Amino acid sequence: MVNQIFFLYFSAVIVASSLLAITRRNVMHGVLFMLLLFFHIAGLYLFLNAEFISAVQIIVYAGAIMVLFLFVIMLLNLREDFSKKQFIGTWPIGLLVSCGVLMVILVSMVVITIGAKGVWGIEQIGRVTQTVAVGTVLYTKYLFPFEVASLVLLVAIIGAIVLAKKRLN
């Protein structure tokens, strides 16, 4: 019973703060709601006994990504944006696409739940630490996608540096 109450609390705050983050007119308020969202996602990971993922969630998302968002918001001239209309006429298309993505996610969850389980089940992870399980899968099975993601991030960093230098000149 207590587990269900904790899960309902975390899930309700996650859904509410994500909706508030995207619907606020003031961008700083949206960022603060997103920070609340990230901390509650980390709490949900702790609730699921995934301490490593929870720590990564707080360090990477609540720390680094939020600082990046805040710097970008401070560098932009947002005074002009407040006078403009926030919603454009194509929002029904966006809503339709969002519902389609939601359906794909739900169908995928059902297929994964019904389908065969992988090598790393709950029993296997219980025998080793979660960090070992994540590291083993990340650096064996998903090594190539991990390296591609690191190259994409490197290109993004170089692009940000080039754009910043052009803006200063």
pLDDT of residue 118: 64
Burial 81-104 (b: 16+ CB within 10 A, else e): eeeeeeeeeeeeeeeeeeeeeeee
- What pLDDT, in 10s, does the model give residues 158-169? 888 887 777 766
Q: What's the gap between Cα 103 and its chain centre?
A: 19
Residue 116 has pLDDT above 70, yes or no: no
Q: Which residue has the tokens 């005074």?
A: 79
Q: Are 120 and 128 in contact (CB under 8 A)?
A: no
Q: pLDDT band for position 117 (50/70/90)?
A: low
CA-closest candidate to residue 123, choices 115, 133, 114: 133
By mean pLDDT, which of 1-5, 55-59, 116-120, 150-154 is the weakest? 116-120
| Cα angle 122, 123, 124; round to 5 | 95
- What pLDDT, in 10s, does the model give residues 61-110? 888 888 888 877 777 765 655 555 666 677 788 889 989 999 998 888 78
CA distance linking residue 130 with residue 50, whole number of Å? 7
Residue 151 has pLDDT above 80, yes or no: yes
Q: pLDDT band for position 120 (50/70/90)?
A: low
